[in-house]
């Protein structure tokens, strides 16, 4: 195949790439050029707005313990996309913004580069399949200050089996080199289903604060996560 024919083939083939495409089938066009850069250092610094204070400005107090764990459960799926908006556009439900930092229990310092998996149900109590459909599933990487933030919807209580209720929660799996991989959950203060959820952990409850953003009311919750060091290096 000539170079011209190959370029034409790649141009048309690229139009059909979908969410289920294999990474091995992705090919950069032969005549592609590097993305132009902005040589202005001041412009480059503007992208750091919103990441929180630099690592040297944040400290963890000494009177805290590593974050408690919860079972992984049957609904975790590998390969969720990296994105800060966990739910699809206009997903039904109350908008919820969750933020926090990941810390090292040994150093009492924020941990940059930690990988968070998050997943939860929709307003009907259903998890997405996680096989091409990653609705309400996401991965994030903590910033230099250990900070993370994502937007989603407030999950509802659901009944995975007769006589067994789960109160609203968001699943987390956090992996970072040098620390034990943690599986935990975020619960919300004041939910009436806590009393009938046998997996509920009161240490993982956080308050929900309502705020007005762009003339719309949103819920917010802060969830700091403290990882235990792993002498073996990492079990991620």
Q: Where are the domains of the chain?
A: 53-227
pLDDT of 132 reads 86
Q: In Å, how far are 43, 73, 165, 167, 194 from 159, measured between CA atoms?
A: 50, 14, 5, 9, 13
Quick one: tokens of 57?
Answer: 């400005």
- The pLDDT value given to residue 25: 56
Contact at 8 Å (CB) between 166 and 199? yes
The pair of structure tokens assigned to 128 is 């997405």
pTM: 0.77
Q: Which pLDDT does position 22 carry in this prediction?
A: 52
pLDDT for the residue 14: 42
Is 2.60.34.30 the CATH number for 53-227?
Answer: no
Helix (H, G, I), strand (E, B) or coil at 57: helix
Of 152, 177, 45, 136, nearest to 97 by C-alpha is 152
pLDDT (0 to 100) of residue 153 = 98
Per-residue pLDDT of the chain (236 residues; tens, 9 = 90+): 555 555 554 444 444 434 444 555 567 667 777 776 655 544 434 333 334 455 555 677 777 899 999 999 999 999 999 999 999 999 999 999 999 999 999 999 999 999 999 999 999 999 999 988 999 999 999 999 999 999 999 999 999 989 899 999 999 999 999 999 999 999 999 999 999 999 999 999 999 999 998 999 999 999 999 999 998 754 44
């Amino acid at each position: 195949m000539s170079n011209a024919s190959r370029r034409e083939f790649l141009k048309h083939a690229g139009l059909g790439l979908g969410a289920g495409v294999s990474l091995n089938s992705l090919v950069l066009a032969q005549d592609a050029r590097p993305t132009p850069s902005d040589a202005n250092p001041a412009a480059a610094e503007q992208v750091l707005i919103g990441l929180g204070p630099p690592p040297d400005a944040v400290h963890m107090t000494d009177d805290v313990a590593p974050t408690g764990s919860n079972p992984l459960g049957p609904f975790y799926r590998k390969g969720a996309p990296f994105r800060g908006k966990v739910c699809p556009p206009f997903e039904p439900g109350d908008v919820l913004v969750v933020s926090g930092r990941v810390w090292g229990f040994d150093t009492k310092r924020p941990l940059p580069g930690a990988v968070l998996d998050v997943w939860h149900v929709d307003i009907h109590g259903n998890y997405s399949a996680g096989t091409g459909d990653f609705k309400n599933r996401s991965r994030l990487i903590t910033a230099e200050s250990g900070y993370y933030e994502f937007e989603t919807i407030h999950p509802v209580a659901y009944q995975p089996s007769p006589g067994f209720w789960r109160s609203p929660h968001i699943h987390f799996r956090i992996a970072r080199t040098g620390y034990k991989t943690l599986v935990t959950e975020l619960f919300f203060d004041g939910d009436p289903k806590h009393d009938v959820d046998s997996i509920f952990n009161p240490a993982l409850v956080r308050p929900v604060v309502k705020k007005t953003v762009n003339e719309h009311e949103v819920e917010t919750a802060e969830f700091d996560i403290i990882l235990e060091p792993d002498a073996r290096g990492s079990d991620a």
